[in-house]
Amino acid sequence: MAFKTFSLELAGRTLSVDVGRVSAQANGAAFMHYGDTTVLSTATASEKPRDGIDFFPLSVEYEEKLYSVGKIPGGFNKREGKASENAILTSRVIDRPMRPLFPKDYRNDVTLNNLVMSVDPECRPELVAMLGSAIATSISDIPFCGPCATTQVGLINGEFIINPNQEQWKNGDMQLTVASTSEKVIMIEAGANEVPEAKMIEAIYKAHEINQTIIAWINEIVAEVGKPKHEYESCAIPEELFAKMKEIVTPEEMEFAVFTDEKQKREENIRVITEKLEEAFAENEEWLAILGEAIYQYEKKTVRKMILKDHKRPDGREITQIRSLAAEVDIIPRVHGSSMFTRGQTQICDVCTLAPLSEVQKIDGLDDNETSKRYMHHYNFPAYSVGETKVSRGPGRREIGHGALAERALIPVLPSEEEFPYAIRCVSETFESNGSTSMASTCASCMSLMAAGVPIKKMVAGISCGLVTGETDDDFILLTDIQGLEDFFGDMDFKVTGTTDGITAIQMDIKIHGLTRPIVEGAIARCREARLFIMDNCMKKAIAEPRKEISKYAPKIVQISIDPDKIGDVVGQKGKTINEIIARTGVKIDITDDGKVSVCGTDKAMMDKACEMIKIIVTDFEEGQIFKGKVVSIKEFGAFIEFAPGKEGMVHISKIAKERINHVEDVLTLGDTVTVVCLGKDKMGRISFSMKDVAQQ
């Protein structure tokens, strides 16, 4: 194919794509340029479906190469290691709008790879990769019901910024990513500083409008260079199998099996049905091979029909009803803060840990402005939480994504470093799971922060809204607080977190080809109503506001400010002075370039002593100042007094006592602690002290 370039003016910059220039052996390749940001996006598919699976095997990769920002990776190997958290989250954001647009019966392996090759801070590479994946797949021969497009929106001083640069994205009041098809919104991801619901909806549909321009452009590219879509082997369940199953297990029997508020009881009922059908089809190996997927589909159709037509939920709740709630704090002794939040059969225990700012997470990424992270939220999902047995292999992409969502939800209400000079880590342990553990993690971590004495500005809660759709756009029903079954069989998992005043985070997953505006508006409104209910009727009963004091087990931190020019005096040659202060007091000391000194410890007296030492070291000495010090050296003409680590002054023999003495040793011995008054500096530039004149001061 001949090399062609297509261009579009987008948000004041030129977006272009080279097709046919590179990676000709991929099914589709888009060499993307936006400003000076360059990303190679490719789409590849296997020739045949993967055997023995009942899902679409899509893999999305976002590769951050540090050469793209002129860096050499750290570490011994000097190679990029495992994917960063940002890369994993970006891969998930690309996956979510793309996955529903592939055929439901497609089982060929598909990989979307995005290689970041250069980064212009004015044009975020994450956005370029999202657009590149859509273009590469659309022009490929891979079956795909696209195209889709993505736009990002920031908010600065109340004004929307379309496709903001790195600085605007980081410092604005909103980080919104919206993907659309030509008709509907298909994905929403947001972090926000308590943005009101109406403002958020306005931003979503501003992005949706811009996406239509991009989609029209992609359609032009496809018309000119797109490949015909290849045929594939369908993995759809035969209708005759469904018909035979309904003869053996009637719709009424399936309805009875799935409609219970106990997950374990439902699973037992389905197991009995499965055994019954396996026995009936024992002679038909072809049907037995796909029976598990067929039962899943039968169960799904039953649940969807009952919800949509009869407004009947599997556990008997009303459409807007939240499951039973419970919350408590201080369930784990000796930690800095802990809480447990339970919603139905979803239960999260969250533990908060406070540490000095030196414990912030260091980040080696593509954004030079973001090199550390002060607040960390980690989420764990062990197999026992869903009654399964599986060896733990560490957090996967789902766990990292859930932790990041809860983290994003709480960042807007955290105190500044000046107000609360701590690094903060919250860990959410999933004790039990039956839907929306990420929202339970948000509630639990909010309470553990308050229990730890972190002065958060407002309480944050989160909830998920589900959806079941019919044959038309107007035929749908929204479900408040979806459980696992409603998530699996429904069309949407719309998570929203926020305070009483606005939204702090959104994450929307869907399985259909987009949402209408009434669905989006209804889901956002339903989530607001639910999160306020959770705060008022559950969380505030456990802990209504942050504690005034941090735990006695948490490190205490005192901050003082010094002249930045005196930092070297405090540190000393090769760190000698500061290490001596630490050795004498047992504290931990952090100093920033602007002269902010944080003294961290558990013994207040030692912390005060360390602060006093630092203040003495940075003091410009004047006559009349009183110090206490230790005799560290004795000479014939006097004694040297160390009044702070690395700081010494001399008391002349004539200034030791009021009466005349012949030998310094007659009054002083090494190690004595004495009180002295500063007389200024002697002819040699040394600080001169007097012991005998102290009483006169």
In DSSP notation, 101-158 reads GS-TT--EEEEEEEEEEE-BTTB-HHHHHHHHHHHHHHHSSS------EEEEEEEETT
In a domain, 503, yes or no: no
Sign of CA dihedral 154, 158, 159, 160: positive
**CATH of residue 673:** 2.40.50.140
> What residue spans of 166-196 are helical by DSSP H?
166-171
- Reduce the DSSP state of residue 290 to 3 states and report it: coil
Same domain, 347 and 257: no
pLDDT of residue 697: 47
- CA pair distance 682, 688, nearest whole angstrom: 6
CA Rg value for the chain: 32
Which of these, 626, 644, 646, 645, lies nearest to 690 by C-alpha position? 626
Neighbours of 75 (CB within 10 A): 10
Same domain, 398 and 535: yes
**Is 260 buried (19+), middle (13-18) or exposed (0-12) by CB count in 10 A?**
middle
Same domain, 40 and 134: yes
**CATH of residue 432:** 3.30.230.70
- CA pair distance 234, 459, nearest whole angstrom: 49
What's the whole-model pTM score?
Answer: 0.88
In a domain, 261, yes or no: yes
Mean pLDDT in residue range 324-351 = 97
Q: Is 85 in contact with 400 (CB distance < 8 Å)?
A: yes
Q: How many domains does one find in the chain? A: 5
Pick left, alpha or beta for residue 509 (phi over 0 → left; psi -120 to 50 → alpha; otherwise beta).
Answer: beta
More confident residue, 118 or 394: 118
- CA pair distance 336, 452, nearest whole angstrom: 5
pLDDT of residue 76: 81
In a domain, 154, yes or no: no
Same domain, 8 and 31: yes
> What residue spans of 226-343 are helical by DSSP H?
239-248, 251-258, 263-280, 285-289, 291-310
- At residue 501, φ and ψ (nearest 5 deg) are -100, -15
pLDDT of residue 452: 97
pLDDT of residue 198: 97
pLDDT of residue 75: 77
| Chain position carrying tokens 């990776």 | 73
Structure tokens that stand for 500 in this block: 């009483």
Same domain, 376 and 421: yes
- CA pair distance 460, 481, nearest whole angstrom: 16
Q: Is 345 in contact with 481 (CB distance < 8 Å)?
A: no
pLDDT, one tens digit per residue, over 280-295 is: 888 888 888 888 889 9
More confident residue, 604 or 437: 437
Q: Is the bond into 421 cis (omega within 30 degrees of 0)?
A: no
Q: Is 6 in contact with 17 (CB distance < 8 Å)?
A: yes
Is the model's pLDDT at 696 over the cut of 70? no
Task: Determine the structural domain holding residue 633 and report its residue range.
Answer: 626-696
Neighbours of 310 (CB within 10 A): 9
Pick left, alpha or beta for residue 671 (phi over 0 → left; psi -120 to 50 → alpha; otherwise beta).
Answer: left
- CA pair distance 54, 551, nearest whole angstrom: 50
- CA pair distance 579, 586, nearest whole angstrom: 10
Is the model's pLDDT at 410 over the cut of 60? yes
Q: Under 8 Å CB-to-CB from 556, ≥6 apart: which residues? A: 550, 600, 601, 602, 604, 607
**CATH of residue 588:** 3.30.1370.10
> Between the CA of residue 57 and those of 92, 95, 161, 231, 598, what are the distances in Å?
14, 11, 36, 17, 50
In a domain, 35, yes or no: yes
Same domain, 641 and 562: no
Percent helix, strand, coil in the chain (nearest 5)?
Answer: 35, 30, 35
Mean pLDDT in residue range 40-62 = 94
23-37, 535-549, 608-622, 653-667: range with lowest mean pLDDT: 608-622
> Between the CA of residue 385 and those of 313, 401, 432, what are the distances in Å?
23, 18, 4
- CA pair distance 582, 577, nearest whole angstrom: 9
Q: What distance separates the 2 farthest-apart alpha carbons in the chain? A: 117
**CATH of residue 298:** 1.10.10
Report the relative pairing of strands 149-156 and 174-180 from DSSP bridges. Answer: antiparallel
- CA pair distance 523, 457, nearest whole angstrom: 26
- CA pair distance 293, 670, nearest whole angstrom: 85
Is the model's pLDDT at 331 over the cut of 90? yes
Which of these, 580, 677, 68, lies nearest to 368 by C-alpha position? 68
327-341, 473-487, 645-659: range with lowest mean pLDDT: 645-659
Tell me the residue length of the chain.
Answer: 697
Neighbours of 654 (CB within 10 A): 12
Same domain, 608 and 684: no
pLDDT, one tens digit per residue, over 563-602 is: 898 898 889 888 888 998 999 899 999 888 888 898 998 8
Type and span of the H or E element at 649: strand 647-652
pLDDT averaged over the chain? Answer: 92
SS3 annotation, 373-405: ECEEEEEECCHHHHCCCCCCCCCCHHHHHHHHH
pLDDT of residue 391: 85
In a domain, 190, yes or no: no
Same domain, 579 and 650: no
94-98, 216-220, 313-317, 497-501: range with lowest mean pLDDT: 313-317
pLDDT of residue 619: 79
Instruction: Name the pLDDT band for 369 (thresholds 50, 70, 90).
Output: low
In a domain, 173, yes or no: no
Last residue of a domain, one of 594, 618, 642: 618
Is the model's pLDDT at 340 over the cut of 90? yes
Which of these, 212, 444, 419, lies nearest to 332 by C-alpha position? 444
- At residue 684, φ and ψ (nearest 5 deg) are -90, 5
- CA pair distance 589, 579, nearest whole angstrom: 9
- CA pair distance 32, 232, nearest whole angstrom: 29
In a domain, 346, yes or no: yes
Mean pLDDT in residue range 178-183 = 96
104-118, 388-402, 540-554: range with lowest mean pLDDT: 388-402
Same domain, 460 and 561: no
Same domain, 46 and 89: yes
Same domain, 370 and 286: no
- Reduce the DSSP state of residue 406 to 3 states and report it: helix
Select the highest-mean-pLDDT range: 129-133, 550-554, 562-566. Answer: 129-133
Query: pLDDT exceeding 90 applies to what percent of the chain?
Result: 67
Same domain, 523 and 400: yes
Which of these, 264, 463, 438, lies nearest to 348 by C-alpha position? 438
Is the model's pLDDT at 119 over the cut of 60? yes
Structure tokens that stand for 328 in this block: 């408590």
In a domain, 416, yes or no: yes
pLDDT of residue 628: 86
Last residue of a domain, one of 310, 339, 356: 310
